[in-house]
Amino acid sequence: MSDTFLTRNPSTLVFLAVLALFVLSVTLLAEGAGVGVISTSFVKTLGKTLCLALVALAMDLVWGYTGILSLGHFAFFGLGGYMIGMWLMYARTQAIVVSSLSEAPIPATDSEIVDAIGNQIFGVVGSSEFPLIWMFADSLLLQLMLVVAVPGVLALVFGWLAFRSRVTGVYLSILTQAMTLGLALYLFQNDSGLRGNNGLSGLQNLPGMDHVPQATLSIWFFWASAAALALGYLFAAWIVAGKFGSVLRGIRDNEARVRFLGYSVEGYKLFIFTVTAIIAGIAGALYYPQAGIINPAEIAPVASIYLAVWVAIGGRGRLYGAVIGAIFVSLVSSWFTGGQAPDLDLGFYTLKWVDWWLIVLGLSFVLVTLFAPRGIGGLVDLWSDRRQPDRHGADLGPGAGALREKEAEQ
Amino acid sequence: MSMLLEVSGVSVSFDGFKAINNLSFAIGQAEMRAIIGPNGAGKTTFMDIVTGKTKPDAGRVIWGERNISLLGMSEARIAREGVGRKFQKPTVFEDQTVLENLLMALRSNRSPFAVMFYRATAADLARVDELASEIGLAEALGRKSGELSHGQKQWLEIGMLLAQEPRLLLVDEPAAGMTPAEREHTTAILVEAAKTRAVVVVEHDMEFVRRLDCRVTVLHEGAVLAEGSLDHVTANSQVIDVYLGR
């Protein structure tokens, strides 16, 4: 026990303990399982927030550790949501259609049932045919596999093309943003097969679970989200603790040097890009059943930019920083935009937070980047005394890194 | 003695400027070689070609007993073949400890999956300790390498190079910014390394080259101007004209 993974990484242990305590207290206070102080809708908000923390964790791996500023990870998140949403919508509509057709004098054939489901789902976009991409929608197992496979394969193909051509830095960010925008615009079309801008709805109802109240379902999803976050955190901590983490940070700081050490930088980037896309997909698949609806607006590029803002405010390059950033900013954001924040009367102008919140968020992003690049997570350093190379004064010698004035005086 | 690296008839030009012009160069399995030449002679471009950073327009680069071509291989692949490179400016991973830097360089399987499950064995740590004391950083293993002084970073990079166990070391101005005592130590490390592997040193400092006591290749305008012992090349009138006589 003296030298295990957790004892060598105390922050992981602390994180898991805090998460467990949080889950326990929410469970005891919730409507579904406890005394009922916390409303079902707020339990859902908390569960969704945990999913956002998980996707922020993925973003931190790919950006904070590897230095790839991806503006596409929220697209992978949305794709995961779409994949599970297809099954939820299909299976639930099927249950409704079967029960209504069973009252007809002649029992309906299988193809009649499928047609009726198609009519129900696609009537809103003026169609009744099932597009090809829905071919597995009747199977939960296959759709769950697609939750992993669709973001994974998209990231693999996109990443292979981009990294192989050695696209880096801001150009790669632009490329990922173009991918995100392209995907969102495609999904907005009615004939994309995913109901255009209507998106998929009614996802909060689990098929075959009509007898379970939403209060209980919300707690189930809250637990599942917390478990996914815990597992994701353990995986991420394990990956960055060893030599793999060294190589990732090396790629972030000096890609060419890593290459001359014999590591195939492109392979590592592709690996981390794909793995984090899969984590994002899983987070999305847990998020949208709690949100109840998914539409292409969720995938819009601005969502991926928010993701980067959360990680930057929370603290790049440390896992708990990403989690803190996502939880803090998204909860504060929903407080301000939900109309709960009281308007500020300045006498000559009334500050409505719903309108002004984005400005505040943008300003704080700029301020954090300029004055506190270590983010909220950097506060932990004050207490744990973790030190960065702290060098003052001008170089005394010819090269960067030579002994500096103040060091020489000491 | 069979050659480890044979570069023949290599040319490369950037925007019409011929940086390397029909250059030929060969080095044996265990040999020290110094490359000198004025600025712009193509020393760094030569290293870029061998390490795969720059693709030549013409010529061949042949490597090892099996005479494979290094052209068309990626930088990482060439490094795994056994070509190690030290840059002029010390480039270590400043945000990581000396130990992490050395472990990353240590010769082992470089594939992502192997690295993910890699845990340093006792033998690996012993090797790192040995290297660290050789480069005078045994006490600094736990320090962030960004805190090291310039000379210490130079050594850390030399240590990382040795940890890779390359068959060919390409070293660009290893003694830049070092004190005389540090230079002597660096010379000793390089001479020792050249007993078992090929070492190519690019250097401006004639005193340093003299201490290496090896064959010298003089480059000028992307081609070999003279080759031989230091006394031989410094007696060459062409060399005096382009380089020493200035």
| DSSP line for B107-126 | SS--SHHHHHT----HHHHH
pLDDT tens digit sequence for A155-187: 999 999 999 999 988 999 999 999 999 999 999
Cα distance from A53 to chain B (closest Cα, Å)? 24
Element (H, E) at A1: none
List, as one string, the DSSP characters of A253-315: H-HHHHHHTT--HHHHHHHHHHHHHHHHHHHHHHHHHHH-EE-GGGGSHHHHHHHHHHHHHH-
Number of structural domains, chain B?
A: 1
Would residue A400 count as lying in a domain?
no
Q: Rounded CA gap, B197 and B152, in Å?
A: 24
Give the pLDDT of residue B198: 94
Task: Check residue A403 and give its pLDDT.
Answer: 52
CB contact under 8 A, B146 and A391: yes
On whether the CB atoms of residues A61 and A240 are closer than 8 A, the answer is: yes
pTM for the predicted model, two decimal places? 0.90
Concatenated DSSP letters of A35-74: SS-B-HHHHHHHHHHHHHHHHHHHHIIIIIIT----S-HH
Inter-chain contact B93–A244, Cβ cutoff 8 Å? no
Range B88-100 average pLDDT: 88
Q: In this complex, which of A247, A391, A399 lies closest to B89 when CB atoms are compared? A: A399
B40, pLDDT greater than 90: no
Residue B174: per-residue pLDDT: 83
Average pLDDT, chain B: 88
Condensed to tens digits (0 to 9), the pLDDT of residues A133-144 reads: 899 998 999 999
Q: What is the pLDDT of residue A404?
A: 54
CB–CB of A260/B169 below 8 Å?
Answer: no
User: Which of B84, B100, B177 lies nearest to residue A402, judging by beta carbons?
Assistant: B177
Structural domain including A196 reads 5-387
Residue A397 falls within a domain, yes or no?
A: no
- Domain contains A405: no
Ramachandran assignment for A28, one of left (phi > 0), alpha (psi -120 to 50 degrees), beta (any other):
alpha
Residue A362 resides in a domain: yes
Asked if pLDDT for residue B104 goes beyond 90, the answer is yes
8 Å CB contact of A399 and B90: yes
Does the beta carbon of B119 lie under 8 angstroms from any beta carbon of chain A? yes
Amino acid at A160: W
B159-173 tens-digit pLDDT: 999 999 999 999 988
Q: Which stretches of chain A score pLDDT less than 50?
A: 1, 395, 397-399, 408-410
B96 closest CB neighbour out of A249, A263, A391: A249
Are B89 and A249 an interchain contact pair (Cβ–Cβ within 8 Å)?
no
Q: How many CA atoms lie within 13 A of A361 on its CB side?
A: 26
The nearest CA of chain A is from the CA of B176 a distance in Å of 9
pLDDT of residue A390: 53
- d(CA A113, CA A13) in angstroms, rounded, equals 51
Q: Is B76 on the interface with A (CB under 8 A)?
A: yes
- Residue A1 confidence (pLDDT): 42
Q: What is the sign, positive or negative, of the torsion defined by CA atoms of B217, B222, B224, B226?
A: negative
B142 interfacial to chain A (CB closer than 8 Å): no
- Give the nearest partner residue to A402 out of B53, B146, B149, using CB atoms: B149
End-to-end CA distance of chain B: 37
Q: Do A239 and B146 touch (CB under 8 A)?
A: no
Task: Choose from A163, A165, A261, A395 for mutation: most chain B CBs within 10 A.
Answer: A261
Number of domains in chain A: 1
Q: Which range of residues forms the domain containing residue B143? A: 3-244
Helix (H, G, I), strand (E, B) or coil at B30: coil
Whats the size of chain A, residue-wise? Answer: 410
Which amino acid is present at B136?
A: G
Q: How many pairs of residues across A and B have Cβ atoms under 8 Å apart?
A: 106
Domain membership flag for residue A379: yes
Contacts of A259 in chain B (CB under 8 A): 74-76, 79
Question: Is any Cβ of chain A less than 8 angstroms from the Cβ of B213?
Answer: no
* pLDDT for the residue B154: 86
Is B110 in contact with A257 (Cβ distance < 8 A)?
no
CATH of the domain at B142: 3.40.50.300
Q: Which of B101, B147, B172 to mutate to test the interface with A (most CBs of A within 10 A)?
A: B147
